[in-house]
Structures are given as C-alpha cells and as structure tokens.
Structure 1
Amino acid sequence: MELKDKIVVVTGAASGIGKAMAIRFAAEGAKKVVCVDLNKDGAKEVADSIGGVAFGVNVGVEQEIVDMIEAVEADIGPIDLFCSNAGILTAGGMEVSNDDWQRIWDINVMSHVWAARHLVPRMTERGGGYLLNTASAAGLLNQVGCAPYGVTKHAAVALAEWLAMTHGDDGIKVSVLCPQAVRSEMTRGHEESVAALDGMLEPEPVAEACVETIRNETFLVLPHPQVLDYMRKKTDNYDRWIGGMRKLNRQFGDIRNPKKASS
C-alpha cells in the first residue's frame, strides 16, 4: 500500500516512534495524519507541524478508542491505515500488582483488540484496510526483568498473526513492528539494558522501516535485523536458547537495580 492520499491514525504520536511515524507518513503524502496520544498537547504539537489532526485518547479505555474512530470517520474520512503504536513498560515479575498487570494488558494488548474490533468490519465493508500494530522484539524473544512487558508483547504479536490469517481474505493487511531498543521516553534510563545490546535506534529509521513494510505489505517489521537470527536460534534449539536467556537474566534481570543485576 502506498501512503499517498491515505488517512492514517497513529496512537502514541506525541513522541518516540509514534511521532516519527506521523512525520514520515505525512512526508509520504498522506491525505491526513491523525495524531493520537494521552498527551493531547504533545499530539497537537506534532499534528500542527504536519498539517494533521490531534486527539487526546487513553487507549486503555475502549470507549475512548471508539469515540475517536467514529469522529475521524465522520469528520475526516475512512481510515486507511491504523497504527496501534501506544505502549508502556512495566518492570518486575510475579510480584507486580494485579492493577499494574491489568493496566499494561489493556494498553499493550486490548488497545489493539479494540481498534481491530471497531475497524475491521468497517474496512471489510469498503474492501480492505491496513493495521500496523507495534509490539516489540520482546514479543518474539521475551524480555528479561520485565514479565508484564514480555507477556503482553507476545500477546500483541499473536493477535496480529490471528488478524492476518483470519481477515487477510477480507482485504485486511496486517503488519507488526518488533524493534529492540529505540530511543524514546520508554527507554530513557535504560540505555545499557539487554534490549540495547545491538544498539539503540533513533525513531526515524524505525518509521522508515514501517513505510517500506507497508509498501511491500509484509508482516514483520524488524528494524534490528539481528532479531530474525535470534528467532531462528530460538526455534532451532529451545533449551539452548533458554540457557542463553538465563545468562542474560543474571546480568540484566533486575532492571530496577542495575548494580544488583551486574554484581
């Protein structure tokens, strides 16, 4: 799919990957880029810079996503590409509270479900559309020190797979973005984390990778090409891969206490 003259929605658009996506999609000639973020002022700043439109939305609440979709389609036009990009990081393991588990589940997984629930029927009726869901390399490889993050990102990848295999015949294209470390508010303070071992990318090349993937209509967006090799090693010998991840866990497992993790 070419982005020229398309109506595009990007969540988490006030900063980081989402901001870079919005700017890059506008440069491709998108008809209108809708910048969505909990930080409405930040979203508006990005939207104003590219001639877009801003919405303040908590993607962890289904009705707010519904209201935004309905407003965009009523006032701007049918959404061609929806980038469900907003996400959060929660560190820790089984001790993380139920409330925090639920919050990250709603934002990292259910926001994708809710967007698809209310867009796929509309897109199908008009002959097709595109969903780009941001997951993470953690959704393919897991994340030491962050059980809620690794679990929810796995679920996000599984949902994208399910959408692609279930609605591909309806004209719904699906891609899932799975980068390692990208410079953003989420990674601030974690520049030496395990996810940054292969380098921390700036958001702009990640957005460029998304444009190329959308143009080619391929499923996986891997701005860090090493991730594909790690996936192959994982499936080649799962036990050996677990052993390697245990070594990384000993070094990086407690991301809230780097001195303890490296001791």
Structure 2
Amino acid sequence: MRISGANIIVTGGGSGIGRALARAFARHGAASVVVADRDESAAMAVADEINGRACQVDVGSPVSMARLIEMAEQDGPVDLFCSNAGITVRGGVDIFEQEWLRIWQVNVMAHVECAKRLLPGMLERGSGYFLNVASAAGLLSQFDAPYAVTKHAAVAFAEWLSITYGDQGIGVSCLCPGGVDTPLFRAESAARQDAMGEGLLSPDQVAQVAIDGVLEDRFLILPHKAVREQMVRRAQDTDRWVRGMRKFFSSVYDKE
C-alpha cells in the first residue's frame, strides 16, 4: 500500500491511537485525511493540525457511516479506511443485552459497514486497503467479555476480508496492540494498568509500527513483542495457556 497521495479515513481519530495514525498518515504524504470521531471538537483539532477534514460520526450508525464515506469521497475514491473507533464495557454475562448490542455495533459492525460500502468501488478499481484496529484482547481474551468477544470478531472479519479479497487487489491489515497510553487505558483500574503496563507504548509508537505494517502489506500487526509470545504459547499448549490466564486474571481481580 502506498500512503503517499492516498485518500484516507480514520475513525476514532480525535484521540489516542486514531489521532496518532491520522498524524502519521499526513506525515507520510496522504493526499487527504478525514478525521472522524463522535467528539467533533477533538476531530476538528486533529484535522486542523494536519490540514485534513473533520467529521462527527457515530460508527455504530449505518446512516452516520454512509455520510462519512460520502464526505470523504468528495476528494476522490477512498484508498484506505482505518477502522479504529472502539468502546469497552466492563463485565461478563451480567451485561445487559442493550450494552452487548451497542459494543457489537461499534467494535464489529462498523468494520462490516465500511467494507460493505467501499468494497464494490475498490474491487472495480482493483485496489483498496482496510486497516482494522482490534486489540490484543481479540487474540488473547483479556478481561471483560464484551470487549474480548467483539475484538475477536473484529480480527476474524479482517481475516475473512483478506482471505476473500486479497487476490483481487484488496489489502487488509489488522492492528492488535497491547497496553497503549490512551484515554481508554487510563480509564482502567490501577490493578489493570499495572497488569498491562509492562511494555506500555505511546500512541505514536503504535502508529509508526502500524504504518510500517501497511507499507509492507502485512496482515497481522503486533506492536508488542509480549503479545506475539503469548500467541505462540497459546498455540503450543492451549490448555496450559488457559490455566495460566486464569491465575493471571485472578491476581488482577483480587487487587480491584
């Protein structure tokens, strides 16, 4: 994927990893970057900084997503869609169905919606790229069920996109970071921050790794070495890995 001269959308671009990605795309010569966020003022601040455009968007709303894509296409076809926006919900099977549905819409269906709207044009042109931001939780089932389950689904959808359309000119990368110093991370309990704090990266560090991965057309982008190591352990002996995760999570929950 060539970033220079590309028309790019970044959701959740008003803060954290999204903001860092929008800045990085601009530094690498993107022709246009649309910064989308539910916080309009935050999106506008980033857009002003990088000479991009801002759009207030609820990624969980298909109507809002359609408006975003229509706006971005005023600059020409969308070359790269970075689906970064995400939310979290604390808890497990006790979570109300409405909360499950909301996090599913934001963390999964937003990825599906952008692909549904952009794939026809990309396939016709024979080019296009999706950078889907998931999480280490989508590979390692960390902490809260709604977040882990939806991030697993986000990884699976990115895999399906790549498998299904990778030979038709469609590039797909799935970014799965571990601990990153973002507002989402700082909202966690002290015990969870301690548990995830080893190897904590800044959003700018993650964005640079992501840019490198996109330029190399890599599917799975893992900024944290520890996440890759955990994936290997899981594959080698899943039962042992699950037992180890039980102990690890119990130790964290005991401190909350």
Give your verdict on TM over 0.5: yes
Map of 2:255 onto structure 1: 262
Change (3 A) 1:125 1:195: farther
Alignment-mate amino acid for residue 40 of structure 2? K
Give the drift of 1:28: 0.5
Runs of 4+ in structure 1 over 6 Å off: none
The amino acid of 2:180's aligned partner reads V
3-state SS of paired residue (1:200)? coil
**Are the aligned partners of 1:129 and 1:171 in contact in 2 as well (CA < 8 Å)?**
yes
Contact 1:181 1:195 in 2 (8 A): no
Report SS of the residue matched to 1:132: strand
Q: Which amino acid aligns with 2:64?
A: E
Q: How far apart in 2 are the matches of 1:54 and 1:221?
A: 27
Q: For residue 139 of structure 2, what is the amino acid of its counterpart? A: L
Q: For the Cα contact (< 8 Å) 1:26–1:50, is it kept in 2?
A: yes
Q: Which amino acid in 2 is paired with 1:36?
A: A
Q: Does 1:7 align with 2:7?
A: yes
Matches within 5 A, 1:232-251: 232-251=232-251
TM-score, reference length from structure 1: 0.94
In structure 1, list runs of 5 or more residues that go unmatched: 254-260
RMSD: 1.2
Opposite residue 21 of structure 2, the aligned amino acid is M
Q: Deviation digits for residues 115-165 of structure 1, max 9, x if unmatched?
A: 111111111111110000000000010112x00000000000000000000
2:195 touches 2:252 (CA, 8 Å); kept in 1? Answer: no
Question: Who is 1:189 aligned against?
Answer: 187
Aligned ranges 1:47-196 → 2 under 5 Å: 47-73=47-73, 75-144=74-143, 146-190=144-188, 192-193=191-192, 196=196
Q: How many residues are matched?
A: 254
Instruction: Tell me which moved more, 114-123 or 188-197.
Output: 188-197
Counterpart amino acid of 1:26?
Answer: A
User: Distance in 2 between the 1:197 and 1:187 partners?
Assistant: 9
Q: Which amino acid aligns with 1:92?
A: G
The unaligned stretches of length 5 or more in structure 2 are none
Q: Taking structure 1 as reference, are residues 195 and 86 closer, same or farther at Cα in structure 2, changes over 3 Å only?
A: farther
Contact 2:173 2:218 survives alignment (8 Å): yes
Would you say the 8 A contact 1:24–1:207 is kept in 2? Answer: yes
TM-score, structure 2 normalization: 0.96
